[in-house]
Structure 1
Amino acid sequence: MVMFRGHLLCFGLGYSALRLARGLLRDGWRVSGTCRSEEKRQALSAQGITAFVFDETTPLPAEAWTGVTHVLVSIPPGPDGDPVLALHRADLLALRPEWLGYFSTTGVYGDTGGAWVDEGKPVRPTQERSKRRVAAEEDWLDLWRDEDLPVHLLRLAGIYGPGRSVFDQLRAGTAKRIIRPGHAFSRIHVDDIGLITRASMADPDPGAIYNLVDDEPAEPSEVMDHACALLGIDPPPAQSFDEVAPGLSPMALSFWADNRKVSNERLWDDLRLRLLYPTFRQGLEAILAEETGRVAEGPPVYKEASDC
């Protein structure tokens, strides 16, 4: 992978996209993007990011597109479809970026009963939000098929990282050690999202689909046990899923509705990537080191893909 720089415009500077943006800024990129409030816009500006308030009903001003070379869409679709496509399809066609990425979800695969899935498997979403994602994916891929824009689908599993991990639940006293044998979840560290996204940006393959997951799907209780061991505390008492299910929110229950293991082999086959944190063990250890000040806060220095 050849080092390069450009200007990324990111629709939706949330947790994952902002972590990516900070790494790009450090490496000499220009980064702009969207947020939902004037307060957030000012905070982003203080970090060197040109931000625009985007309410998903009003197009961005024309100057937002000046000099942009890469575009990332990190906004979920609504009931009426993808708001970026609805408002800016013509702008994207006029811009013709070098790379266009769309953050989707592995939820599009639905329930496989615990079987493995890869990017070649058909999508069978069971949740309404995942069905919207499938429709949005097809709309974005149409821009590649019909207009030859370099669209890439990046399907993210459960995201964790500093400030968003089981450590936070344990510290807040809200953690539950739920036991449901055979029900594993795939996950991805936020800095590996950045690593994979940057590798795709450096080596575009229009129409490509990548699963952004680590090497080892695991039951939540395994993750909690390791986190407790790192903190030197006893884990919460075990509770069966059937025992706690009546008290879970509809959103929490929806995450338990599907059982699948998601493969990431294409990351190596196509991008020649090795993850920074191939399992939750390395990921949790890195989070704890960052949160306790043993390493500098912020995304790591990324290696070239060929060196990984």
Structure 2
Amino acid sequence: MTGTLLSIGHGYSAQALADRLLPARWQIIGTTRSAENAKSLAARGIEPLIWPGAPLPVARATHLLSSVAPRAGDPVIEAIGAELAQARHLQWVGYLSTVGVYGDHGGGWVDEDTPPDSPSERAVARVRAETAWQEVCARAGVRLHIFRLAGIYGPGRGPFEKLRSGRAQRVIKPNQYFSRIHYDDIGQALELAIHSNVGPRIFNLCDDHPAPPQDVLEHAAHLLGIAPPPEVSFEDADLSPMARSFYGDSKRVRNDRIKRELGLQLRYPDHQSGLAAILKAEG
């Protein structure tokens, strides 16, 4: 099967899907905010579109993926919600959300049946956006898959860059767990969803082994053959407000549903295998 994917807010995660669809002769229209990024998309074989600005060509698309983060509302729904509600020609819609909607569980496990329970404005906005997409796609009778992504890492993004630049901090906070997902596994999960017959669904997208952040940093330093940064307590760490807010949530995320229903077989089920693959690819 081939088609035309309209990728709104085409960024790192959406490119993981594009890497898999372009060789299969899919046409991909990717939106970006800047002319510089538009040139980069064109160089990859993606038809660039500056948005907000130009009209979104929903009528041309057979499939649609939104990676746009919500603000007060969802910018895509606000712009083309009425058109989407009538877009019965669409075969699939994907929306990239975050496991941050679950809030803090003190290191305990959560799955897709766990009610969202985060007081943060970002998480509340995400839940509203998920609901908006569900309502619009239900009116159109279009299959919607919502992906709640864990911490994303892969080529060009992860602990190696922080260690090499000297920006890495080995922050210690007891019972702190984060779940993660590798770039390649994002791509294969989205491709499986497109080609599946699974109806409207929410999927957690994460690997098998949540880990404390300091363990990941220590392993990355070991792979580089350097000493890890000294330990610093969470209270004393030099963190941005955004980074500090991430440490407010500790949970381990289950991925059984996406394996069972989409048949996802993770290439990188833990950070050890994922980090080793990144370093090998770098040569």
Partner of 1:299: none
- Whole-angstrom distance in 2 between the partners of 1:42 and 1:238: 42
1:44 maps to 2:55: no
Cα distance in 2, alignment partners of residues 31 and 52 from structure 1: 11
Q: Is structure 2 residue 24 aligned with structure 1 residue 33? A: no
Moved more, 146-155 or 134-143: 146-155
CA distance in 2 between counterparts of 1:206 and 1:136 reads 19
2:117 equivalent to 1:124: yes
Which runs of 5 or more residues in structure 2 are unaligned? none
Q: CA deviation at 1:142?
A: 1.0
Please name the residue that 2:244 is paired with.
253
Q: Does 1:290 align with 2:273?
A: no
Residue type of the alignment partner of 1:227: A
Q: Distance in 2 between matches of 1:20 and 1:271?
A: 15
Task: State the Cα distance separating 1:91 from its structure 2 match.
Answer: 2.8
Q: What secondary structure sits across from 1:152 in the alignment? A: strand
What number of residue pairs does the alignment pair up?
A: 282
Deviation per CA, 1:131-173: give whole Å up to 9, x if none. 1000000111112434322111100111001111100000001
Q: What does residue 205 of structure 1 align with?
A: 198
Structure-2 separation of matches of 1:180 and 1:204: 42
The Cα of 1:197 is off from its aligned counterpart by 0.7
* Percent identical: 45
- For residues 50 and 24 of structure 2, the distance between their equivalents in structure 1, rounded to whole angstroms, comes to 25
Q: Does 1:220 align with 2:213?
A: yes
Q: Which residue of 2 aligns with 1:60?
A: 55
AA in 2 matched with 1:154:
F
- 2:87/2:140 contact within 8 Å kept: no
Q: Is the 8 A contact 2:30 2:41 kept in 1?
A: no
Structure 1 position 154 matched with structure 2 position 147? yes
Q: Which amino acid aligns with 1:49?
A: I
Q: How far apart are the structure 1 equivalents of 2:197 and 2:163?
A: 40
**Residue aligned with 1:216, SS:** coil
Shift of 1:105: 0.4
Q: Distance in 2 between matches of 1:65 and 1:268?
A: 30
Q: 1:274 is matched with which residue?
A: 265
The equivalent residue for 1:18 is 15
Cα distance per residue 1:187-213 (max 9 Å; x no partner): 111111111111111114232000011
Q: CA deviation at 1:46?
A: 2.5
Judge conservation of contact 1:111–1:126 (CA < 8 Å) in 2: no
State which drifts further: 118-127 or 139-148: 139-148
1:59 CA displacement: 5.8
Q: Select which of 72, 76, 87 maps to 1:95.
A: 87
Is there any run of 5+ residues in structure 1 with no aligned partner, and where? Answer: 293-308
Inter-partner Cα distance in structure 2 for 1:178 and 1:142: 41
Query: Residue type of the partner of 1:175?
Result: A
What is the alpha-carbon distance in structure 1 between the residues aligned to residue 191 and residue 50 of structure 2? Answer: 25
Deviates more, 1:170-179 or 1:141-150: 141-150
- Equivalent position to 2:74, from 60, 67, 82: 82
Instruction: Write the distance in 2 (CA, Å) between the matches of 1:136 and 1:240.
Output: 35
- Does structure 1 residue 109 correspond to structure 2 residue 71? no
Q: TM-score, normalized by length of structure 2?
A: 0.95
Match of residue 178, structure 1, among 158, 164, 171: 171
Q: Which amino acid aligns with 2:80?
A: H
CA distance in 2, matches of 1:140, 1:205: 17
CA drift of 1:217 comes to 0.5
Comparing 19-28 with 230-239, which one deviates more in the overlay?
A: 19-28
Give distance in 2, aligned partners of 1:145 and 1:123: 21
TM-score, normalised to structure 1, is 0.88
Residues in 2 aligned to 1:239 and 1:43: alpha-carbon distance in whole angstroms: 39
2:192 is the counterpart of 1:195: no
Contact 1:17 1:74 in 2 (8 A): yes
